[in-house]
Structure 1
Amino acid sequence: MRHGEFRHSRLVQVYDAECVWGPDDDFFRAVVDETPAARVLDLGCGTGRLTVALAAAGHTVTGVDPAAASLAAARRRPSGDRVTWIEGTSALLPDRSFDVAVLTSHVAQFFVDDDEWARTLDDLQRTLVPGGRLVFDARDPADRRWERWNPVDSRRSIGLPDGGEVEAWTEVAGVRDGAVSFIHHYHFADGEALLSSATLRFRSEAQLRDSLAAAGFTVEAIHGGWHREPIGQGDGELLVIAHVGGLAPVS
């Protein structure tokens, strides 16, 4: 199953149990909060962990995701009714409607094809106001994170809200031209075993900068970790903050 963590109701529960609030959420919330009472787009919002937190912080938030099962879980969250949820892609976004757009949890890497990534950036540039900010994370290919995606290093037990546990691990299926394909394995206590496959694109700092410039964005900063460390000295990340055009960011 492709992207099972977002599309299969049982795996959505596992995803939520494993992916709890962390320093990545702190980073994104801090950047968004630099624009008070912002109109925020969370593209690829998933089950809405950060989305609802931004709404609770006083922002007007729209969460967009193509996965119905993830959005169903997002709507059930406390304060989920404070968010506008849209099932779909960036193609549905209205013009000049948001002050800040975020893509979290490495959503940017799911756009494997360069043309698809360029279209997405064009949509984001179109939906942001002049000077509006775009914030996203991508793993730094120099960190070679995929080399740790193997049945030994990635094996873990995930505790579920009902007290059960799921044994999980990841294995790489192929690496080619910056695209890494992999399979997540999930074994449930009742004997059910589920697989979820995906492919992520690892773009370099230079490739990200070039694609953003082509879409009309100006890069403000690219950090290497969740505490804004320099590239190569943080968490193996490329944390991008950019804004539309050459104008100063919205404040």
Structure 2
Amino acid sequence: MRDGEFLDPLLVPVYDAECRWGPDDDFFLAVVNETPAARVLDLGCGTGRLALALAAAGHSVTGVDPAGPSLAAARRKPGADRVTWVQAASPALPDRAYDVAVMTSHVTQVFVADDEWERTLADLARALRPGGRLAFDSRDPADRAWERWNPVDSRRVIGLPDGRRVRAWTEFTEVRDGVVDFTHHYVLPDGAERLSSATLRFRSEAELRDSLRAAGFTVERVHGGWHGQAVGEGDGELVVVARR
């Protein structure tokens, strides 16, 4: 299955257990908190980890995601009633409705084709009020993260809340012009194996800056990691904050 972590009811809890709160969440929470009581859009909110924390911090949060099983998991979590959950993609966003928009966990990379990415940025520009901010992360292609997506370096054990364990590993299958195909392998507690394939686009800092400028954004800063490091000196990330 493609994108099984978000669409397969058996894999959504595995993804949720593996992807816990981290320094990336601290960064995005701090960015949003710079605007008190903000109207926040979390586009590609997944199972809601950050959206719930933003709501608990006093913001008015809308979590938007096209994956129904991920949103179902988000709605079951404590505090979920504080968030407006919407199963949709960016064309459904209302005009000038938000002060801040975030796209986290490398959501930006699922927009592989340039026209798809440009449409998403146009939708975000339309959905933000004038002066509103957009923050997102994307892996820096110079870090070549996909080279570590192999059965040896990516092998891991994921602990589920009920104490059971899932064995997992990743392997990339093709790299071409900034586009990477890969497959996650999961061995569930009952021994069954589930596969989840995906394709991601790795855009350079220059490409991100150019696309944001074309969509009407001004780039305020780009970091290479979650603690404000320069590009190329941090966590292999391109962490972007821009203003509409």
TM-score where L is the length of structure 1 = 0.97
Deviation at 1:189, TM superposition (A): 2.3
Aligned to 2:239: 239
Aligned to 2:73: 73
Distance between the aligned counterparts of 2:91 and 2:11, measured in 1? 27
Distance between the aligned counterparts of 1:41 and 1:189, measured in 2? 36
Q: Please list, as runs of the form range in 1=range in 2, the aligned pairs for 1:123-202 lying within 5 A after superposition.
A: 123-202=123-202
Q: Deviations over 1:29-70 (max 9, x none)?
A: 000000000000000000000001000100000000000000
Runs of 4+ in structure 1 over 4 Å off: none
What is the one-letter code of the residue matched to 1:83? V
- Aligned identity (percent) is 73
What is the one-letter code of the residue matched to 2:125? Q
Deviation at 1:121, TM superposition (A): 0.1
TM-score where L is the length of structure 2 = 0.99
Aligned to 2:209: 209
Distance between the aligned counterparts of 2:213 and 2:17, measured in 1? 37
Deviation at 1:72, TM superposition (A): 0.3
Q: Please list, as runs of the form range in 1=range in 2, the aligned pairs for 1:41-80 lying within 5 A after superposition.
A: 41-80=41-80
What is the one-letter code of the residue matched to 2:176? R
**Partner-residue secondary structure (3-state), 2:195:** strand
Q: Please list, as runs of the form range in 1=range in 2, the aligned pairs for 1:87-98 lying within 5 A after superposition.
A: 87-98=87-98
Distance between the aligned counterparts of 1:56 and 1:77, measured in 2? 13
Aligned to 2:119: 119
**Partner-residue secondary structure (3-state), 1:221:** strand
- The answer to whether structure 1 residue 13 and structure 2 residue 18 are counterparts is no
**Partner-residue secondary structure (3-state), 2:11:** helix
Distance between the aligned counterparts of 1:6 and 1:38, measured in 2? 27
Q: Deviations over 1:62-103 (max 9, x none)?
A: 000000000000011111010000001000000000000000
Q: Deviations over 1:117-163 (max 9, x none)?
A: 00000000000000000000000000000000000000000011111
Distance between the aligned counterparts of 2:189 and 2:36, measured in 1? 46
What is the one-letter code of the residue matched to 2:7? R
What is the one-letter code of the residue matched to 1:81? D
What is the one-letter code of the residue matched to 1:163? G
Deviation at 1:182, TM superposition (A): 0.2
Where structure 2 has 5 or more consecutive residues not aligned to the other structure, the ranges are none
Where structure 1 has 5 or more consecutive residues not aligned to the other structure, the ranges are 245-251
What is the one-letter code of the residue matched to 1:93? L
